[in-house]
Amino acid sequence: MSFSQRVQNLPHLGIGVSTEYGAFRGSESLDIMALRQAHPQFARFLEVGVELEKGLDEDTQAWIEGGGATTFHFLDVNLDDPEDFDESWLQGIRETAKTLKPAWMCGDAGLWHLGPRERGSMLLLPPICAPDAVSPMAEGIQRLREEVGLEVLPENPPGSIFLGSLHLLDFFARVIDEADTGFLLDCAHLAIYQKLKGLAPTTGLDQFPLDKVIEIHVAGAHIQSVDGLSFVEDNHTPNVLPETWEILEYVAPRATELRATVFECERNPMETTLSGFQRIQKTLSTHFGGIK
């Protein structure tokens, strides 16, 4: 069955929040249950970042026990490396999926580690955007989908340096075509890439298959300068760059199969996040306006 057929079985989740182990435990972190009670339209699901060695924290367990919907965001697999798909890791992923009951799997399609996996490594580098790198990543996506029985949506990662002859969007268009899958478009990560390349925020989106975008991420970022070098830090604050909003506003009416949008703001007080949630909801009203 092709993805164009399989996508019809994916639920419409609406707007949600991301987390990873311990993310809600900081003194200034979002209280996801309080958000769900006060503004349920902004907490329709929880995207759970999973590094298998750490497992699921108490907040995620409570969310699941309360019947909350989830998606499964991997934090420890290099999709283009066959050695990453060892049976012990796959079995752990299957067991975690049984607990989460996620709508799908997703994650930054880059380099999560160098050498063997090691707890707490959390390295993330973007892929080399070259034609020869397309097939290995596509094959990894297909294998994970077959091994776990869930759709696997690659996400464009952040980075300060991007290598390869292809534009990031061209690279991922080729990957999702070969893997026959959908895509998670991180608007903040794309804004970082375009800024680094000296391009307009929406460059390349007119040629990208936006009908394959199933999920969108929005997050804040901060422009920093170290020893004269300026770069953008993807810091998940509510301070969303104008370029990120521009990308979201371009994509929203064109992402005809959009099912979910995450505001990555998990380490911030609820009151500081509400204007961002409201802008996302307004921009995506065509998709999620009917979800109460």
Backbone angles phi, psi at 241, to 5 degrees: -65, 150
Contact between 50 and 75 under an 8 Å Cβ cutoff? The reply is: yes
pLDDT at 229 (0 to 100): 66
Write the CA distances from 68 to 45, 59, 214, integer angstroms.
6, 11, 19
Q: How far apart are CA 290 and CA 1, in angstroms?
A: 29
Q: How far apart are CA 73 and CA 107, in angstroms?
A: 5
pLDDT at 292 (0 to 100): 41
The residues of the chain scoring below 50 in pLDDT are: 290-292
Contact between 137 and 145 under an 8 Å Cβ cutoff? The reply is: no
Token pair for residue 131?
């034609």
Structure confidence by residue, pLDDT tens digits, 130-184: 999 999 999 999 999 999 999 999 999 999 889 999 999 999 999 999 999 999 9
- Beta-bridged to residue 26, according to DSSP, are none
Domain count, the chain: 1
Backbone angles phi, psi at 275, to 5 degrees: -65, -35
Which conformational region is residue 185 in: left (phi greater than 0), alpha (psi within -120 to 50 degrees), or beta? beta
Structure confidence by residue, pLDDT tens digits, 85-115: 999 999 999 999 999 999 999 999 999 988 7
Q: Which residue from 136, 60, 53, 124 is spatially nearest to 93, judged by alpha carbons? A: 53
Whole-angstrom distance between the N-terminal and C-terminal Cα of the chain? Answer: 32
Tell me the CATH number at 269. 3.20.20.150
- Give, for 169, the enclosing helix (H) or strand (E): helix 168-179
Q: Which residue from 273, 206, 200, 184 is spatially nearest to 237, judged by alpha carbons? A: 273
Contact between 244 and 221 under an 8 Å Cβ cutoff? The reply is: yes
The domain of 157 spans 3-288
